[in-house]
Structure formats: C-alpha cells, structure tokens
Amino acid sequence: MSNVASPLVNIAITSVVCTIPAIATTVYRLCIRRGRYWADDAWALCSAVSQLIMFISSFVHIANSSPKRAMVAVYYLMAATFYTIVWFARLSILFSIIRIDPCARRRRLLLIISVFFLLTTVVLVTQLFWVCEPEPRWKEQNSPYCYLTRQVVVLQVVTDIVSDSILIVAPLRLVRSLHDRKLPRRLTIIFSTCLITTIVSLVHAAFIFTRAGHNEVIAAIVEDCVSLIVCNIPVVSASLLRIHREPIRANATPGSVRSGLRFASWHTKATSPDDAAAAAGGTTIGTIGWRSTFRWDRELPESETELDQSNTTSTLPTHESHEVDHDIGGYPENDILTISGWRLVFTA
C-alpha cells in the first residue's frame, strides 16, 4: 500500500490536480477558436502536448518499474518538457499580442522576440544535458534525479524575469491607445497574469538552489500548469465575458451594434476565381513571412456607412475601418474604437 506522506505520492497528486485544469482550459480554448486557429493556438496546443508528455513521464518515474537506462531517459524527458511547456506557453501569449496589434512595426519586433524565445528554449534544454551528463552518479539512484547547478538557476531566473516582463510591457502601447475607460484596464489585468508565472518560477528556482529534491519537481509541475493556464486566460476570459453578455445581446434592438472587440485572424489566400472574388472586399495588409500562403485580412463591415452616420462622436482621423476577429476583452460602451490611427468597428 502506498504511503500517502511519500514524496512520490505527493508528486502524483500534484500532477493530477494541476494537469487537469491546464489541459481543460486548452481544450476549451481550441473549441471556441475552431475555424479561426492561428499561431498562438498552435503554441498553446504544443504546450499542452508537452504537458501530457510530462504527466505520463512523471508517473513512469514514480512507478520506477523500468530499467535504469529507461528511467534516466524518462527523467530527461520530464526535465526537457518542463522547459517546452513554459516557453511554448509564453510564445502563445506573445503571438496573441502579435495577432491583436494593428501596428506592423511592433508586430515585426515581436516576431523577432519570438525567435529569441525559441533560442532560449533550445539553450535551456541543452544546458540540462551539459550539466547532468558529466555527473553520471545520479543515474545509479533508484529514482534517477540530476541536481542542477547554480548556473541553471541563474539562467532560468534571468530568462523568466526578462521574458515575462516583455509579455507585460508589449501590449501596453496598444492598451494606451484604446479610447475607453474599462477595456484598457481589462486587457492590462489579463496580460499581467504573466506575473503569476514569474512568482511561481522564482519559487521553483529557490527549490533548485537549495536542492529541495522532490519539492523541486512539485514546483516544476505547478509552474508548468500555471504557465499553460495563463496563456489560455486571454481567450477563455473573453469567451466567458461574451457568454455573460449573451442575454443582453438577445434583448438588443435589431439596429444596435454588437459589443465585443474583434481582432484579426490569418486566412489562406484565395486560389480560385470564386475565392478571389470573395476576398476582394477585404483589406489585405502585408505581413512578415508566409506571404505566399497567408494574408492579414481585416474585412470591411457591411454596416460601416450606417455606423459612421450614427456615431457623431467618432471624429478622429483614421486610416481604414476594419472588422476583425475577436477573442480578447469586450467593449460594450462604444461602437467605434480608435487604436493608433486604426478604427476598429463593432458591427451588428
């Protein structure tokens, strides 16, 4: 009979309790985003797959029923997926910001930052091997576990703080450009949830520094699950807000506009004459990469003229009016929102 107080049992309980909500939020995110998938959804899916791999590996490690060499491989799999979960989740948040930001220059800068995020992931996983492989004695333990050095702690803490700071600061320019009182605060709160990941990562780093053993594994599992949940918060929270406001929309008059901020999605370029004719009404904006396959499409709303006539307060100069695919925040007060010279229109 298993000892409830055993550290291995605590790891198993933590894995189950934390993994279920992390995977559930990802599944919910992918369900509500179906038909509009973009890079941020792909990174969230990759993070969730890594989470499942770590979940299975942790139970194999706990059971300790495999040969020594297999158990060493399982440990490396657990340790490597720890980094991929956290950093794929950060990439998901970063690409969520890229998707909603109308400024091409900022999108280009954030894409460059995403490359550095990927390189950081590779470096952290590689560091795991160059620290553990020169010390073969840990591989002879009943439950193989490599005690990481101070250089791992330093690099992990520095990269965590820098990356989470970028994810908090990146949307501020966009948020400050919103001509509204509630939406900037809401978006700021949503993206500031990255601070939760930073706090948990600092706790995990402290456990590594003190060589806390199994507590370090528990902290790593918690950090992974928190990271995955946090990357899903923007999409999930927006969906819950829309569900909450659904009765209000049902009672709205036919001429009223639909509330909720809508953002852009990638669409494949039209290849047939019919598709080209259907896409002709959209405004295509060139973006970095995938130019031959994808386009950044912001379709003009059919009711734009009526909205311009009915909104006497919207007198700010704009470049173009766009209806874009929504998934973050909500905007019930106004019909037209100006962001850095772009006008986002809420259509009926």
Domains and CATH numbers, the chain: 7-244 (1.20.1070.10), 265-345 (no CATH)
Whole-angstrom Cα distance, residue 276 to residue 53?
42
State how beta strands 321-322 and 294-299 pair.
unpaired
- The pLDDT tens digits along the chain (348 residues) read 445 557 778 888 888 999 999 999 999 999 988 888 999 999 999 999 999 999 998 888 887 777 888 889 989 999 999 999 999 999 999 998 898 888 889 899 999 999 999 999 999 999 999 999 988 888 888 888 888 888 888 999 999 999 989 988 888 877 776 655 666 666 667 777 778 888 888 888 888 888 777 788 889 999 999 999 999 988 888 777 777 666 655 565 555 444 444 444 444 444 444 444 444 443 333 333 333 333 333 333 333 333 344 343 333 344 333 334 445 544 333 333 333 334 333 333
DSSP letters, 110-136, are: HHHHHHHHHHHHHHHHHHHHHHHTT-G
State residue 122's pLDDT score: 96
Task: State the burial class of residue 69 (Cβ atoms within 10 Å of its Cβ: 0-12, 13-18, 19+).
Answer: exposed
Whole-angstrom Cα distance, residue 16 to residue 23?
11
The sign of the torsion formed by the CA atoms of 67, 70, 75, 78 equals negative
Q: Tell me the pTM.
A: 0.72
Cα pseudo-dihedral 249, 255, 259, 263, rounded to 10: 130
How distant, in Å, are the alpha carbons of 19, 132, 175, 261, 303 from that of 214? 17, 17, 41, 45, 60
State residue 29's pLDDT score: 92
Whole-angstrom Cα distance, residue 144 to residue 340?
54
Do the Cβ atoms of 231 and 90 come closer than 8 Å?
yes
State residue 112's pLDDT score: 95
DSSP letters, 197-262, are: HHHHHHHHHHHHHTT-THHHHHHHHHHHHHHHHHHHHHHHHHHHHHHHHHHHHHTS-TTSPPPS--
Whole-angstrom Cα distance, residue 133 to residue 13?
30
Inter-helix orientation angle 150-169/182-192, to 10°: 170
State residue 114's pLDDT score: 95
User: Helix, strand or coil for residue 189?
Assistant: helix
Token pair 């007060």 is found at 333
Beta-strand ranges (E) seen in the chain are 265-268, 282-285, 294-299, 321-322, 336-339, 342-345
DSSP 279: H
User: Helix, strand or coil for residue 178?
Assistant: coil
Query: Of 224, 242, 230, which Cα lies nearest the Cα of 189?
Result: 230
Whole-angstrom Cα distance, residue 162 to residue 198?
10
Rg over alpha carbons for the chain, rounded to the nearest Å, is 23
State residue 240's pLDDT score: 79
